[in-house]
Structure 1
């Protein structure tokens, strides 16, 4: 299997004060099943869709009681030490220095100069998502930030993304692609004034569903919140939500598209 290009979204996980509640919520929402949490790695519990790994949930670590639940998007790196050094050169910060996770690989946690948290994963035996772009699996991600200029100067320089700007006077949105790829790898969305000031910058992780409206109904039934949508788009019908413990994410029905694809131009 060829190595995953640096900068590719490769994995997602979230830390919760109540992992059992998270498993019940996401199990009902996405049909996930869960492996047994590994005590050697803090109870890290992988989620499976159709028997294929798609994400993970983990108990909150001691000393992190004040850290709110949030999904973390990891990007692939073939040299995590070099990536860490480059993050600092570009004005970012490394909150967790590169750390080996047994034979599975190495990880770090960082922030861009505007405060967007993200992870980096150098694969070992764990090569990341085993299922993508389908119901129950990771389908898209958007760097969502008030400091769009800082994100634009950081992530493409870190991972070599090619950048396009969506032609739309109502939003400030960029598409970031791996060099030579015909398909974007993720987006960058500048927060509008509608975002409450207490909402921090973050990477919005999208998970595929069979029916967006049905998924939103399940979110609210279980005590989660809907922040935006459901809304139809050329890419699928989607909604931005958060789970009952406050972790924000999005759901998207990739099969339910509406309208013409938006125009893009080199940024």
Structure 2
């Protein structure tokens, strides 16, 4: 598979205190297998589905040992020039959590925070091109949504940094927007309501494909995950939101099981 176009989600990783526990959990729920940990890069460990890279897990860096920082999935967006994207992030009110850094011959990355507090990554591919499994393959990354209490900030920021156009869902009950690159929808944005406890920070929720949403939820909760929402059928698929045993939020979706009509979307200037 080729390098993802600019602005497309291209990789996801998460930091876990219990790396073996994360392997066991995601291996069971999503059918992942794992490569050898790279000691040169902080025991960074790639996950695979049917031999194709789908994500990675990593233990905390030494400076963070003992801190109660919650595990969280980080989504990376493709960039042809990480330094140029980092400049756009700064110029549009974002904050660089980690300056652009070359990772061997794999590529160049940075970590950032949007003006509403959402953390994300940027990846300029070298030998590591990112996700290799098709989105509809069970275990593969499928979709992602920015969850924020200040949508107006994210709505201005992301199209200024990446080549996005936006469409707003016509629904008085839900404030939801979709960002496109060309005709391709690549990212959702959801306003966090009072249903989210105040201690939950804004974040990007990643979705992984599964063959059977209810079965995946049953496995996950049996292994100690907390079901936050669903399973629910929608025009996009049957999905559910979960928190894994180490506190990382994620969702699962069966895109083959759909129900209802697609929502109406309005172009936003």
- 1:28-67 matches, within 5 Å, as 28-64=28-64, 65-67=67-69
Contact 2:2 2:129 in 1 (8 A): no
1:88-115: CA deviation from partner (whole Å, max 9, x where unpaired): 0000000100011000001111000010
**Cα shift at 1:160:** 1.8
- 1:228-267 matches, within 5 Å, as 228-267=229-268
2:83 maps to 81
Q: Does 2:228 match 1:227?
A: yes
- Size of the aligned set, in residue pairs, is 265
Q: Distance in 1 between matches of 2:202 and 2:134?
A: 24
1:144 maps to 147
**Cα shift at 1:2:** 5.3
102, 105, 111: which is aligned to 2:104? 102
Gaps of 5+ in 2: none
Contact 1:109 1:120 in 2 (8 A): yes
**Cα shift at 1:63:** 1.6
Q: Distance in 1 between matches of 2:148 and 2:116?
A: 7
Contact 1:142 1:188 in 2 (8 A): yes
170, 173, 179: which is aligned to 1:170? 173
Runs of 4+ in 1 over 6 A off after TM superposition: none
Contact 1:142 1:189 in 2 (8 A): yes
1:12 maps to 12
**Cα shift at 1:87:** 0.3
1:3-34: CA deviation from partner (whole Å, max 9, x where unpaired): 42211100000000000000000000011100
Contact 2:115 2:157 in 1 (8 A): yes
TM-score w.r.t. length of structure 2:
0.97
- Please state whether the residue corresponding to 1:228 is helix, strand or coil: strand
Q: Distance in 2 between matches of 1:118 and 1:2?
A: 22
Contact 1:12 1:73 in 2 (8 A): yes
Contact 1:54 1:132 in 2 (8 A): no
Q: Distance in 2 between matches of 1:110 and 1:223?
A: 30
RMSD over aligned Cα, in angstroms? Answer: 0.9
Gaps of 5+ in 1: none
Q: Distance in 1 between matches of 2:266 and 2:12?
A: 30
Contact 2:3 2:130 in 1 (8 A): no
1:185 maps to 186
- Please state whether the residue corresponding to 1:160 is helix, strand or coil: coil
- Please state whether the residue corresponding to 2:245 is helix, strand or coil: coil
TM-score w.r.t. length of structure 1:
0.97
Q: Distance in 2 between matches of 1:173 and 1:20?
A: 36
